[in-house]
Amino acid sequence: MSTFQAPKGTYDLIPPDSAKYLAVREAIAAPLKNSGYGYIETPGFENVELFSRGVGESTDIVSKEMYAFETKGGDKLALRPEGTASVLRAALEANLHKLGNLPVKLWYSGSYYRYERPQKGRYRHFSQVGAEAIGAEDPALDAELIILADQAYRSLGLSQFRILLNSLGDKECRPVYRDALQGFLRGLELDEDTRRRVEINPLRVLDDKRAVVQKQLVGAPLLRDYLCDACKAYHEEVRELLTGAGVAYQDDEKLVRGLDYYTRTTFEFVHDGLGSQSAVGGGGRYDGLSEMIGGPALPSVGWALGVDRTVLALEAEGIELELPATTSVFAVPLGEEARRVLFGLVTQLRRAGVATDFSYGGKGLKGAMKSANRSGARYALVAGERDLAEGVVQLKDMQSGEQSPVALDAVLDAVRERLA
Ligand code: HAM
């Protein structure tokens, strides 16, 4: 071990496990690519104000968890704690919304940073795959995104997850509800921190997990009863579309998300095998965010799924992804001349698209065959001086152990034929 370790709350992705993470990212991205979403990549850091305005000054993410810093040049930046504000910023900056093709549908995959108390499933550096559909108010778009996330999880074999669904209302009805809720909460016996939260972000109090708080919340006004007719109709349409698509969900009036930009549809994917960090993904509509960061009115909706937690969910369900072996052919040279000849063959096979690896470091036959085994290769190419004198190499089937000589200039064809 070196003097250094990965920083607290982080971990390294290392083979062979790292292949699982790649497969999860690909599985989440596949339905998006198949549904008109284009890939976007934005910087790992942004102007800190983008997040304080976008995600919200009163959220934990901004007030406690952001890696904010000032550069030597005096710029105030922050490592991105989430993707939505960045993606919208980039879309506005590139004028994608002016190309006359709304909604702008984008997907992304990357690392995010939150200074949280680390525990299983909660890290300071984590990974999301996300999708944003910018510039359209259409319940079918909300439904599309939820259906695609469901499809992604199911394609991985996951089944023990639930979809929680809620509507947070809009700028007409939510303030009325907020007032009513505040009135109710002010009458409760709450600690000082929570009382402060009642004043700046009362909806978050509903999300308080502590029993002392929860038992006082019985009888709290419900947002459902305050939704305006337009929000009610919109939500009803989303629900019907989901039901029509055969996607089961649970209405959860208490679902409040940890980011301030949400309006109307909000949802979370929770997995029942993960303990306290059970949210594997979440999202919703954010009709006001564009204006909050200085853009035009652009009603939008999106989600992000946590890659780390999705991998934990696979483990919790005992799902082994079928990952094809990365190497098809492994070359084992015996002696100096064979090394040169086989290295040439390896290059030829690779250029022809056959996944091939080579025994480096002058290992003996036993050590080299061990490497061949570990690589998962289906075939080994073995050659010593006697083989070369005869102009052949031995092609060994690693499963059956059978071995046969193949002329040097026929190796590519022989390998292709067998792998086909
Ligand atoms: P979020 O709910 O904060 O939403 O994060 C989405 C997912 O990222 C979570 O459900 C979880 O799986 C994963 N995640 C969050 N924090 C951590 C952590 N500390 N460690 C491991 N995994 C974590 C958003 O980020 C929104 N931008 C989603 C969105 C997109 N809404 C609209 N568009």
Q: What is the DSSP track for 171-225?
A: TTTHHHHHHHHHHHHHTS---HHHHHHHHH-HHHHTT---HHHHGGGTTPPPGGG
The CB of 132 under 6 Å from ligand 1? The reply is yes
User: For the structural domain made of 17-173+227-316, what CATH number should be given?
Assistant: 3.30.930.10
Instruction: Give the homologous superfamily in CATH for domain 329-419.
Output: Anticodon-binding domain (3.40.50.800)
The CB of 130 under 6 Å from ligand 1? The reply is yes
Query: What is the DSSP code (8-state) at residue 42?
Result: -
- Provide φ and ψ at 394, rounded to 5°: -90, 130
- Are 270 and 162 in contact by the 8 Å Cβ rule? The answer is yes
Q: How many CB atoms lie within 10 A of CB 384?
A: 16
Torsion of CA 399, 403, 409, 412, to 10 degrees: -10
Which pLDDT score is estimated for 253?
87
The CB of 123 under 6 Å from ligand 1? The reply is yes
The CB of 84 under 6 Å from ligand 1? The reply is yes
Please list the ranges in the chain whose pLDDT falls under 50: none
The CB of 31 under 6 Å from ligand 1? The reply is no
- Provide φ and ψ at 160, rounded to 5°: -90, 45
Q: How far is the CA of 46 from the centre of ligand 1 (A)?
A: 18
Residue nearest (by alpha carbon) to ligand 1 atom 13: 306
For the chain, the straight-line distance linking the first and the last C-alpha, in angstroms and rounded, comes to 43
Which pLDDT score is estimated for 206?
87
The domain locations on the chain are 17-173+227-316, 329-419
pLDDT in tens, 89-127: 999 999 999 998 999 999 999 999 999 999 999 999 999
Which pLDDT score is estimated for 100?
86
Which pLDDT score is estimated for 259?
87
Q: How far is the CA of 9 from the centre of ligand 1 (A)?
A: 16
The CB of 81 under 6 Å from ligand 1? The reply is no
Q: How far is the CA of 307 from the centre of ligand 1 (A)?
A: 10
Which pLDDT score is estimated for 331?
98
Which pLDDT score is estimated for 107?
98
Which atom in ligand 1 lies closest to the alpha carbon of residue 268? 10
Which atom in ligand 1 lies closest to the alpha carbon of residue 258? 3
Which pLDDT score is estimated for 165?
98
Return mean pLDDT, the chain.
95
